[in-house]
């Protein structure tokens, strides 16, 4: 199943279709790291795959120039998922650097509007596939994936397995930067907080009531219907 979801877009290493997880159909949603390294061939592959909208979860001061121009018919929407400048951000920047699943429950509870805004961007996107990303395609992308996959009926096991794939896919990029192996580092941090990837993510998934979470936090019934149609 994983191999069938893997996409080869020249310039990026962490690109995969979320289709077949839960009831999600192939071609609807693709998650990846920041597409700034995509070559012209990479962007052409994304276009040929049907992608027409890119949802960028990074803060406005994060983006770097693209290596190659994006296709003219492809729309980019920026919906930052980090609540920069808030007490939440200050706390979790020191606790887990917003780089583990530990902060997911807090973000969903304290800043649900940011999550719903990203979901709405996908629900209301033009016809065609949607790709969404943050910097490495791991944490902000992982949280949005968790929400969307939960709506689509994916199991905690499917969501966890997909989340963990990014550590393997991004290892070459982290090595380039001289960064310590992130799977090891994050496992140690979670252990220090008395939990594991599996326990932390499962707790978040099982406590997330869908679609109530989306509707209670501002997603309209119309947008929910459009989202379900897009995903399934």
Query: Can you give the residue ranges of every domain in the chain?
Result: 2-231
Q: Is the pLDDT of residue 3 over 80?
A: no
User: Residue 201 and residue 101: Cα distance in Å, rounded?
Assistant: 6
pLDDT level of residue 135 (50, 70, 90 thresholds): very high
Residue-level pLDDT at 174: 93
Q: Is the pLDDT of residue 59 over 50?
A: yes
Q: Is the pLDDT of residue 229 over 70?
A: yes
User: Residue 113 and residue 191: Cα distance in Å, rounded?
Assistant: 30
For the residues 78-92, what does the mean pLDDT come to? 98
Q: Is the pLDDT of residue 93 over 50?
A: yes
> What does the DSSP 8-state code read for residue 136?
S
Peptide bond into 39 cis (omega under 30): no
State the pTM of this model. 0.97
Residue-level pLDDT at 1: 40
- The b-or-e profile of 128-151 (16+ CB within 10 A means b, else e) is bbbbbbbbbbbbbbbbbbbbbbbb
Q: Is the pLDDT of residue 47 over 50?
A: yes
CA 129, 134, 137, 143 dihedral sign is: negative
CATH code for 2-231? Answer: 3.90.190.10
For the residues 147-167, what does the mean pLDDT come to? 98
The DSSP bridge partners found for residue 56 are 78, 133
pLDDT level of residue 2 (50, 70, 90 thresholds): low
The per-residue pLDDT for range 103-119, each reduced to its tens digit, is: 999 999 999 999 999 99
């Amino acid at each position: 199943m994983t191999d069938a979801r893997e996409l080869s877009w020249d310039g990026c290493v962490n690109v995969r279709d979320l289709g077949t997880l839960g009831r999600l159909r192939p071609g609807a949603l693709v998650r990846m790291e920041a597409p700034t390294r995509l070559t012209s061939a990479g962007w052409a592959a994304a276009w040929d795959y049907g992608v027409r909208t890119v949802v960028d979860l990074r803060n406005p001061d994060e983006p770097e120039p693209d290596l190659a121009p994006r296709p003219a018919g492809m729309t980019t929407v920026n919906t930052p998922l980090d609540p920069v400048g808030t007490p939440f951000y200050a706390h979790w920047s020191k606790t887990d650097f917003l780089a583990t699943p530990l902060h997911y429950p807090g973000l969903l509870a304290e800043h649900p509007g940011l999550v719903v805004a990203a979901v709405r961007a996908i629900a209301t996107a033009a016809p065609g596939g949607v790709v969404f990303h943050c910097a490495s395609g791991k944490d902000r992308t992982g949280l949005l994936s968790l929400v969307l996959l939960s709506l689509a009926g994916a199991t905690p096991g499917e969501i966890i397995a997909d989340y963990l794939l990014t550590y393997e896919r991004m290892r070459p990029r982290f090595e380039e930067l001289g960064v310590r192996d992130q799977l090891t580092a994050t496992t140690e941090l979670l252990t220090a907080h008395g939990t594991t990837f599996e326990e932390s993510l499962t707790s978040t998934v099982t406590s997330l009531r869908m679609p109530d979470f989306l509707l209670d936090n501002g997603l309209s019934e119309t947008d929910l219907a459009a989202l379900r149609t897009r995903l399934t």
